[in-house]
């Protein structure tokens, strides 16, 4: 290099060129000479690589703070190399877990424990694995499952902080529910934070002297701006309880921006606080309002006030807003009149008109989600097939169960009672949909039942699950040589359908895929009696199949009720199939098994 014209370029120009090199080429260039090595060690070069290649970081890196400092104060090259090494370790684990079911959960946990430092890698696997990859469905499914586990761990950390009376913002506590249902969309806590910052800045910039306004004027302006952009409220009364209305990120990022009053008030308060307005949710029954309090030196209109406690009955000290309905201040007298109509005693009015705790708002959100999920399930009941929706009903229900388990009052007896009520439903949901959350049961739930009878049950469940994950699956060999065709051939015996068969139920018409089989019905007698198995034309001696239906349920189906399909499965079935299969083979009309250790002949 030293004898080339390129070497005669000044350092400043070489540094500018290096900025356009990808990281691998930067390293290669650094090895060409002592001078190039010195240039490529420039901290600004590696800071650029860090922020361009990695968008998500664990909080321990304090990236926001580092970006505000001079580049030389941070060892950016070492930080970049750390991330590259972390990606290498995570990818090796990820590739290994796709090869066998043995240690699959353990490997998923190890990757998830790396947190947001592997989120970019997982997003790459989920969103950019080519359609013709040999394991495309498995790669996308498991990347998404690990991402979900990372998000849920973040949510639970926020709720644990709240329960332990540590500092956590309202939008983080509510956004934790969103982390359960992200499904690849924008809505992470950092996304919510940036969007609220952006909105606050837009409100401030609408008037050059905004910061000099009185608190009352600012409070009204925030509501006006939010309502003018349709970011709060819900124009459709018919879908008031729609599940999507419970999630703050959906209200912020998805059209239409509908929400429940609680979420609208949370958005309002988060923006208002960023603009110096002390706004908090109220304790008003059935419909949350925003309570805006004056500062210690001036009243809401900017007039000087004597120091002392805030008088909640004085309109100069406290005002109420209902951004879900209007940008106009709601008089306290009007709210009191409604309380009288509800039958609330006058002695309780001050409590209802005052502010509530973040913990109570979190629990209130959980109860709202529970009601919305039950309503959504009632609407779905009787449908022949359920297309995957957003937000996912099962993920939303799971968020509610976890919040009810983690959050609660200080009364240990009532808290333990509620946890006992929630625990069976949480375990059922974990086993059916979120087996990668085993470590959350182990690390969070067991300590909640220390010394209680439930602890032994949980320990047995975890020990069994760990053993199942660590052991090789016992192989199920086909009982006889069979036709390669999907349909069962009467008189030839054996199991007619193979693992990966895409089918439609002959009686109930839902679609699904075969993920296991038995040569005859091996369910308990009580189940067979309840399902009237012996009334089937071929009874209990025919093969029965474990299947995953298009509504995500796992069912046990008699062979005579299965009708094989050869067309390309629906998007919902393809997304679910990645848990068990590598890809869809269009020519053979079957899913390619990823559980061959359990069913080697299929």
Q: Name, in order, each residue with C-beta under 8 angstroms of 348's C-beta and a sequence gap of 6 or more.
A: 339
- What is the model's pLDDT at position 246? 96
What is the C-alpha separation between 252 and 254, in angstroms, rounded? 6
Q: Are 554 and 548 in contact (CB under 8 A)?
A: yes
The b/e string for 332-371 (b: 16+ C-beta within 10 A; e otherwise) is: beebbeebeeeebeeeebeebbbbbebbebbbbbbebbbe
- Name residue 558's beta-bridge partners: 544
What is the C-alpha separation between 18 and 30, in angstroms, rounded? 10
- What is the model's pLDDT at position 308? 66
- What is the model's pLDDT at position 6? 63
Using a 10 angstrom Cβ sphere, with 0-12 exposed, 13-18 middle and 19 or more buried, the burial of residue 532 is: exposed
DSSP 8-state class, residue 471: S
Is pLDDT above 80 for 480? no
Q: Are 262 and 321 in contact (CB under 8 A)?
A: no
pLDDT digits (tens, 9 = 90+) for 97-114: 999 999 999 999 999 999
DSSP H/E element including 53:
helix 43-53
**Mean pLDDT, the chain, integer:** 89
Using a 10 angstrom Cβ sphere, with 0-12 exposed, 13-18 middle and 19 or more buried, the burial of residue 478 is: middle
Q: Are 281 and 290 in contact (CB under 8 A)?
A: yes
3-state SS, 148-178, equals: HHHHHHHHHHHHHHHHCCCCCCHHHHHHHHH
pLDDT digits (tens, 9 = 90+) for 521-555: 999 999 999 999 999 999 999 999 999 999 889 99
- What is the model's pLDDT at position 487? 43
Please state, for a pLDDT cut of 70, what percent of the chain lies above it. Answer: 88
DSSP 8-state class, residue 537: T
Q: Are 256 and 242 in contact (CB under 8 A)?
A: no
242 pLDDT band (50/70/90 cuts)?
Answer: very high
DSSP H/E element including 549:
strand 544-549
| N residues, the chain | 602
Reduced to 3 states (helix: H, G, I; strand: E, B; else coil), residue 57 is: coil
Among 244-248, 300-304, 434-438, name the one with the lowest average pLDDT: 300-304
What is the C-alpha separation between 365 and 246, in angstroms, rounded? 7
Q: How many CA atoms within 13 Å lie on the side-chain side of 229?
A: 17
Q: Are 117 and 58 in contact (CB under 8 A)?
A: yes
pLDDT digits (tens, 9 = 90+) for 144-188: 999 999 999 999 999 999 999 999 999 999 999 999 999 778 899
Q: What is the pLDDT averaged over residues 381-406? A: 80
Among 123-137, 206-220, 463-477, 492-506, name the one with the lowest average pLDDT: 492-506
Q: Name, in order, each residue with C-beta under 8 angstroms of 477's C-beta and a sequence gap of 6 or more.
A: 600, 601
Instruction: Check if CATH label 1.25.40 holds for domain 502-593.
Output: no
Measured between alpha carbons, how far is residue 365 from residues 151, 254, 284, 369, 397 in Å? 18, 19, 14, 6, 12
DSSP H/E element including 93:
helix 76-99
Please state, for a pLDDT cut of 90, what percent of the chain lies above it. Answer: 70
Is pLDDT above 70 for 36? no
Is pLDDT above 50 for 209? yes
Residue boundaries of the structural domains of the chain: 175-359, 502-593
Q: What is the pLDDT averaged over residues 373-387? A: 68
pLDDT digits (tens, 9 = 90+) for 552-578: 899 999 999 999 998 999 888 999 999
- What is the model's pLDDT at position 479? 80
**Which is more confidently placed, 593 or 37?**
593
313 pLDDT band (50/70/90 cuts)?
Answer: low
Output Rg (C-alpha) for the chain, integer angstroms: 29
Is pLDDT above 90 for 288? yes
> How many Cβ atoms from other residues are within 10 Å of residue 260's Cβ?
25
């Amino acid at each position: 290099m030293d004898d080339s014209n390129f070497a005669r370029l000044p350092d400043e120009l070489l540094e500018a060129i290096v900025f356009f090199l990808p990281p691998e080429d930067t390293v290669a260039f650094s090895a060409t000479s002592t001078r190039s090595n010195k240039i490529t060690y420039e901290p600004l070069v590696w800071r650029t690589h860090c922020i361009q290649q990695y968008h998500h970081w664990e909080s321990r890196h304090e990236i926001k703070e580092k970006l505000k400092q001079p580049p030389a104060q941070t060892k950016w090259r070492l930080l970049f190399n750390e991330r590259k090494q972390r990606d290498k370790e995570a990818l090796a684990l990820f590739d290994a877990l796709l090869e066998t079911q043995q240690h699959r959960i353990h490997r998923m946990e190890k990757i998830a424990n790396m947190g947001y430092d592997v989120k970019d890698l997982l997003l790459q696997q989920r969103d950019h694995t080519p359609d013709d990859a040999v394991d495309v469905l498995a790669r996308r499914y498991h990347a998404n499952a690990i991402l979900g586990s990372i998000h849920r761990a973040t949510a639970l950390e926020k709720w644990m902080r709240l329960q332990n009376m540590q500092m956590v913002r309202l939008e983080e506590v509510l956004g934790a529910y969103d982390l359960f249902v992200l499904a690849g969309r924008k809505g992470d806590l950092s996304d919510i934070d940036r969007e609220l910052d952006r909105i606050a800045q837009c409100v401030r910039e609408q008037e050059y002297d905004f910061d000099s306004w009185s608190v009352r004027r600012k409070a009204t302006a925030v509501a006006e701006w939010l309502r003018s952009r349709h970011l709060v409220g819900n124009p459709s009364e018919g879908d008031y309880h729609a599940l999507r209305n419970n999630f703050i990120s959906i209200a912020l990022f998805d059209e239409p921006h509908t929400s429940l009053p609680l979420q609208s008030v949370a958005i309002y308060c988060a923006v208002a606080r960023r603009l110096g307005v002390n706004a908090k949710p109220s304790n008003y029954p059935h419909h949350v309002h925003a309570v805006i309090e004056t500062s210690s030196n001036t009243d809401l209109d900017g007039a000087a006030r004597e120091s002392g406690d805030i008088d909640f009955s004085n309109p100069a000290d406290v005002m109420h807003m209902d951004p879900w309905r209007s940008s106009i201040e709601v008089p306290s007298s009007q709210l009191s009149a409604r309380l009288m109509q509800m039958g609330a005693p006058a002695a309780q009015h001050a409590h209802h008109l005052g502010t509530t705790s973040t913990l109570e708002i979190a629990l209130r959100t959980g109860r709202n989600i529970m009601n919305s999920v039950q309503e959504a399930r009632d609407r779905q009941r009787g449908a022949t097939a359920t297309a995957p929706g957003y937000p996912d009903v099962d993920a939303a229900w799971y968020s509610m169960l976890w919040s009810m388990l983690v959050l609660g009052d200080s009364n240990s007896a009532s808290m333990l009672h509620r946890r006992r009520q929630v625990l069976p439903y949480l375990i059922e949901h974990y086993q059916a949909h979120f087996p990668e959350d085993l470590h959350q049961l182990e690390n969070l739930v067991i300590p909640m039942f220390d010394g209680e009878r439930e602890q032994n049950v949980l320990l047995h469940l975890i020990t069994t699950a760990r053993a199942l994950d660590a052991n090789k699956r016992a192989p199920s060999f086909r009982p006889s040589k069979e036709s390669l065709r999907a349909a069962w051939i009467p008189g030839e015996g054996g199991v007619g359908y193979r693992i990966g068969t895409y089918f439609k139920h002959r009686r109930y018409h839902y679609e699904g895929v075969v993920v296991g089989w038995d040569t005859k019905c091996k369910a308990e007698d009580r189940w067979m009696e309840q399902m009237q198995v012996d009334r089937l034309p071929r009874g209990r001696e025919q093969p029965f199949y474990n299947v995953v239906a298009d509504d995500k349920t796992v069912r046990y189906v008699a062979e005579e009720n299965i009708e094989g399909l050869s067309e390309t499965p629906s998007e919902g079935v393809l997304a679910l199939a990645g848990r068990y299969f590598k890809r869809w083979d269009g020519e053979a009309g079957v899913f390619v098994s990823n559980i061959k250790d359990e069913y080697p002949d299929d």
